[in-house]
Amino acid sequence: MCRCAFLTMDNLTGYVSDDELTIKHLHDAGWTVEMVSWRKDYNWSQFDVVVIRTTWDYQNDPDTFFAVLESIDRSHARLENSLELVRWNMQKPTCATSH
């Protein structure tokens, strides 16, 4: 079986997560899926794929979050999405309005 990590946060209390809806379908397709907090130290190479899912607290520590993604990218696991795409997405524009 192929191994997949769904990257999440330590505590999803107060958040809605639909991750469990996909796990059975992935299992039926030959995958095992583990929910892994991005704040925990892992050997990312034990996974074939790491999917960024419910990491809704990353903005509290974006530098550490991105360092974790870089660590995943250096491992044998394939990171979904690419570092370039995540970096672009993390750079939220600021809008200024003038009156």
Say what the pLDDT of residue 91 is.
83
Ranges of residues in the chain whose predicted pLDDT is under 50: none
Say what the pLDDT of residue 54 is.
95
Domain ranges (residues) in the chain: 2-12+19-90
Alpha-carbon torsion (19, 24, 30, 33), positive or negative: positive
Prediction pTM value: 0.86
| Residue among 45, 84, 44, 92 at smallest CA distance from 66 | 84
Q: Which fold has domain 2-12+19-90?
A: Rossmann fold (3.40.50)
Question: Torsions phi, psi of 12, nearest 5?
Answer: -95, 10
Cα(87)–Cα(84) distance, integer angstroms: 5
